[in-house]
C-alpha cells in the first residue's frame, strides 16, 4: 500500500556560514533590565539570568552539528505536494516503521511552537507492538512554513490548506486509509481532516487538546448541556482546570492575538534576533508544561529548528492570520461536530483544561482519558502515556480496532 510515490531522502545540513551568523548575532546581544526582585520569577516573561545562560551556551557551547547528526538518524524525506491555488511545495516529513507489516498508518501533526522534533520521543513506543499492543507506521510532516518544508509565498494559506497538504501527502505515500493524531494546530487540522475526509480516507482521529473553553450551550448542544447540568459539582481538579483556562485567556493569550492580527510586527524581531526568538518561544515552553525539567540542549534544539527553518521563523506565525480569515463556509464545515470516531487525552497543565463534557461538542468521542500530570506538549512531556492512550484506542478490543482495512496493527 505504501510508497505509491516515494519521497527523496533528506538530511539536515546547516552551513557553517549560517552557524557563524548565528554566533555573531548572539555575541552582539543587548539584554533588557529585569526589575523583579526574584531573579527566577517568570511573571514578566523569561527571567534575565535564564536568558543570559541560554544565550551564552547557544553562542559558545551548544553543538548544533551533533544535534543535526542525531536528527539525521531519523528517516527524513522531501516530497512535492501540489496545493490547489498555490502550486507545489516541498514538504519535509519523517516516515517511521516504513513498510511494517499490518502497522496502522498514523499521521501525526504538530502545532506552534512545536515541530517534527516534538514527536521524536513517542516514535519508539508507537512503533513497537507485540501480541497485546498494536504497532503504527508513522508519518510526521513539517507543516508548510515550519521546519524544513517550504513556506507559502502568497496570502491565504490557512489551516484548511495545511489539512489538504497532510491528506495529499498520505495519498502520495499510498495510504488511502489512515488515522490521525495532533495537538495545538495539529488538533485543529486533525478536526478538519475528520470532517473533510471521513469516512473514505480518515478512519479515526485522536487529539491531546480541546478547542472548547466554555460549557456546552442549551441552544447549540442541548444533549451535552443536559449532561453538564446532571453531572454534579465540578471536582477540585476540574475547578483548577477551569481557573487555569481562564488565567490563560486573560494573561497568556496575547501571543495569539499578535500572531492573528500583526504577525509581521513580531516577525521582524524573531526573524532578525535569535534572542528575540528564544524569548518568544521559551515563555511558552515554560508556561505550557507541567514542571517539565527542560535541559538547555532540549530548549536550544527546539529553538534552533525554528531559527534554521527553510522559510524562517516568521512564516510559522502567518498560519494564525490566514486561518482566522478563512471563508466562513470552510470554518462551518471544518469545525462542525465530527462523525469520525475520536479520542482525546486531557492533561492538567495544558492551556485549555476543560471538563471532559465541555469537549464533547467537538465530535464522536469513543475514548476519553484524563491524566494527573502533563501539559500542552504531551508527545514530548508524557510520550508513554500518550502512546498508551493511542494503543488503547486501536488495540484488539479497543473502540476502533481494525478501522483501517488490512492494517490492524498486529
The residues annotated as belonging to the active site are 184, 320, 376
Q: Residue 369 has which C-alpha cell? A: 482519558
Q: What is the distance between the alpha carbons of residues 319 and 189, in angstroms, rounded to a whole number? A: 11
**Closest-CA residue to 191 (of 333, 384, 36):** 333
| Ramachandran sector of residue 109 (left: φ over 0; alpha: ψ -120 to 50; beta: rest) | beta
β-bridge mates for residue 78, sequence order:
8, 92
E-strand stretches of 150-220:
178-182, 202-207
Q: What is the distance between the alpha carbons of residues 175 and 119, in angstroms, rounded to a whole number? A: 20
| CB proximity list for 32: less than 8 A, separation 6 or greater | 48
- Give me the residue label for grid cell 491531546: 208
Q: How far lies 311's CA from each of 150, 166, 284, 307, in Å? A: 6, 19, 22, 9
Decide: 182 and 190 in contact? Cβ < 8 Å: yes
E-strand stretches of 101-201:
104-109, 136-141, 178-182
Decide: 205 and 340 in contact? Cβ < 8 Å: yes
Query: CB atoms < 10 A from the CB of 219, how many?
Result: 7
- Tell me phi and psi for residue 39, to 5 degrees: -70, -10
Q: What is the distance between the alpha carbons of residues 361 and 217, in angstroms, rounded to a whole number? A: 10
Decide: 326 and 160 in contact? Cβ < 8 Å: yes
Q: How far lies 133's CA from each of 104, 111, 401, in Å? A: 11, 27, 11
| CB proximity list for 111: less than 8 A, separation 6 or greater | 182, 183, 184, 185, 186, 187, 188
β-bridge mates for residue 166, sequence order:
none
Burial class of residue 171 in the structure, from the number of CB atoms within 10 Å of its CB (0-12 exposed, 13-18 middle, 19+ buried)? middle
Please count the CA atoms within 13 angstroms of the CA of 231 that sit on its side-chain side.
16
Amino acid at each position: 500500500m505504501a510508497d505509491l510515490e516515494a519521497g527523496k531522502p533528506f538530511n539536515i545540513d546547516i552551513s557553517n556560514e549560517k552557524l557563524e551568523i548565528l554566533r555573531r548575532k548572539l555575541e552582539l546581544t543587548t539584554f533588557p533590565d529585569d526589575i523583579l526582585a526574584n531573579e527566577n520569577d517568570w511573571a514578566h516573561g523569561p527571567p534575565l539570568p535564564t536568558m543570559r545562560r541560554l544565550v551564552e551556551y547557544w553562542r559558545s557551547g551548544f553543538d548544533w552539528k551533533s544535534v543535526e547528526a542525531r536528527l539525521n538518524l531519523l528517516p527524513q524525506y522531501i516530497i512535492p505536494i501540489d496545493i490547489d491555488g498555490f502550486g507545489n511545495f516541498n514538504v519535509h516529513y519523517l516516515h517511521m516503521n516504513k513498510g511494517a507489516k499490518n502497522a496502522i498508518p498514523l499521521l501525526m501533526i504538530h502545532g506552534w511552537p512545536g515541530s517534527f522534533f516534538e514527536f521524536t520521543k513517542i516514535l519508539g513506543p508507537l512503533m513497537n507492538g507485540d501480541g497485546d499492543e498494536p504497532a503504527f507506521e508513522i508519518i510526521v510532516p513539517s507543516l508548510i512554513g515550519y521546519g524544513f518544508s517550504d513556506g507559502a509565498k502568497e496570502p491565504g494559506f490557512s489551516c484548511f490548506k495545511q489539512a489538504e497538504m497532510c491528506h495529499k501527502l498520505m495519498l502520495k505515500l499510498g495510504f488511502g486509509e489512515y488515522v490521525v493524531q495532533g495537538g495545538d494546530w495539529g488538533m485543529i487540522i486533525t478536526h478538519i481532516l475528520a470532517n473533510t475526509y471521513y469516512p473514505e480516507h480518515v478512519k479515526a482521529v485522536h487529539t491531546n487538546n480541546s478547542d472548547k473553553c466554555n460549557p456546552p450551550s442549551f441552544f447549540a448542544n442541548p444533549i451535552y448541556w443536559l449532561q453538564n447540568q446532571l453531572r454534579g459539582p465540578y471536582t477540585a481538579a476540574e475547578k483548577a482546570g477551569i481557573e487555569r483556562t481562564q488565567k490563560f485567556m486573560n494573561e497568556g493569550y496575547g501571543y495569539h492575538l499578535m500572531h492573528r492580527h500583526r504577525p509581521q510586527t513580531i516577525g521582524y524581531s524573531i526573524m532578525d534576533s535569535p534572542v528575540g526568538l528564544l524569548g518568544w518561544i521559551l515563555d511558552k515552553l515554560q508556561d505550557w508544561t507541567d514542571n517539565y525539567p527542560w535541559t538547555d540542549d532540549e530548549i536550544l534544539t527546539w529553538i534552533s529548528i525554528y531559527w534554521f527553518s527553510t522559510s524562517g521563523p516568521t512564516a510559522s506565525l502567518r498560519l494564525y492570520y490566514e486561518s482566522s480569515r478563512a471563508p466562513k463556509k470552510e470554518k462551518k464545515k471544518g469545525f462542525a461536530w465530527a462523525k469520525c470516531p475520536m479520542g482525546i487525552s486531557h492533561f492538567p497543565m495544558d492551556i485549555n483544561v476543560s471538563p471532559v463534557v465541555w469537549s464533547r461538542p467537538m465530535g464522536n468521542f469513543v475514548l476519553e482519558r484524563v491524566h494527573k500530570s502533563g501539559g500542552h506538549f504531551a508527545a514530548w512531556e508524557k510520550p508513554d502515556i500518550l502512546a498508551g492512550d493511542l494503543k488503547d484506542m486501536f488495540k484488539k478490543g479497543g473502540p476502533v480496532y481494525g478501522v483501517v482495512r488490512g492494517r490492524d496493527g498486529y
